[in-house]
Structure 1
Amino acid sequence: MATEKFIMVSLEDEKAKKIANVISNDTSRKILEFLSDNEAAENDIAEKLDLPASTVHYNIQHLLEQDLIEVKDFYWSEKGNKVNIYTVAKKLIVIAPKSMKIKTKLKNILPVALLALAASGAIHLYTKLSTKPLAFGGGMEKMVATQEAIAPRMLEVAQKAVETAAPNYALWFLTGSFFAIATYVFITSIRKEKK
């Protein structure tokens, strides 16, 4: 059983021709329409649609081959044969021109990039909210108590120094994520060129 929610084919792809042939067949369309409301075995489909069993079997095989239907379950007949129960594969069929390869790659990578961006934002917020002014031990507090006149300014300078000195984890995470995505795109494009 396929787990993808769509079938994407190019106009130049042989699979597009096969899908078009299956969908243009009246019997296949009747079977698809019947299975959209019911789950049934081949013999039930033949009986309900008043079609020969061999015709139903032939069309079922082509529908399965193109992932338009799938085996939902099975049972054992009285003769001990495995009988499949079919249902419509709930998939979108997308037929695109061949030049859509880059858009397809981007469509596959976009959710990962958005997730990386969201995670980076969450890390940034967490870092900002959890960063407390670093006290340099108990001595800093004593110094502030004794030198009240310059203490607010020193504390402000110390906080700024700590904030600027601390690494920006969110930026590093985002940079690493985009580097990993770019590496993935580069490697997959090289592999496809070799094929």
Structure 2
Amino acid sequence: MDALGIPASTVEYNIGKLLKSGFVEKKKNFFWSKKGKKIVMYELSNKSILISPNRGTSEKLKSLLPGFILTLTGTFAVWVFDTIKSGNIQNNVAQDYVIQNSQKMILENVPELSNGMSNVIQANAVWGWFLSGGILALLIFAMVNWRKL
């Protein structure tokens, strides 16, 4: 302890912590000091230590980036599919409906026209639900696994 320049209590405390963690083990051998006290010998245990740097917040967010890209790509695919599928059919139906009944509807019942058009507009909101669900799933995943990321 004199050679290290630290107090004996510090050495004893640190050896106790190393024993408790399992990095150091007591040897079966011991020897006696000049004063007649039993001196225990220690040896290193056969354990590996992995030291890695802490990941910052920016690195954790970068690990979520592929999920966001996949969500945006899926949202775009849903939007394209929905536009192709429902856009052609609904536009044709809406155009036919408006052309056939335009004068009659304008003169008699304007709210009926707005109801018909609102149904056409509401049918195209599937991609918004897909996007919000994907982002919500990523946020829940990030909150649950934040320490592991």
Q: Give the TM bin, normalised by the shorter chain.
A: 0.3 to 0.5
TM-score using structure 2 length: 0.45
Give the number of the structure whose alpha-carbon radius of gyration is greater. Answer: 2
TM-score using structure 1 length: 0.36
